[in-house]
Structure 1
């Protein structure tokens, strides 16, 4: 059995895992994702798929992720 889901959706991910745990045979879960999702200046930009970031940029990434997940947890796109 194979499931294809939005890998950024907590609901879809939870449902897929629950399905897999109940299944009597192996289940493959394909999670479609966007590299850098949740970091406004990185999402979908291939230039961020490699290399390292400095401490200042790491702080910006954490702040961006914090805003992204807060919005999702408020029910605006979980």
Structure 2
């Protein structure tokens, strides 16, 4: 009996949970503008073919983000 291999599509989602609070006490003219929260995924950056069972490193740059939540979602490409 031949075993069937299912092709899997893996979607990497980066959820941005940013909490920005600004409290001003005193002279408003001394308040400096803050950069808005941002994130850039450096690797993997798209187009890579990742193999099951291997370990991959996810790298990113972030500004003003306190928590990063990385989720792995797999979806079968065939309905069997």
TM-score range, shorter chain: under 0.3
Higher RCO (C-alpha 8 Å, min separation 6): 2
Question: Higher strand share goes to which structure?
Answer: 2
**Higher fraction of helix:** 1
Q: Which has the larger radius of gyration?
A: 2
After TM superposition, the score normalised by the length of structure 2 is 0.21
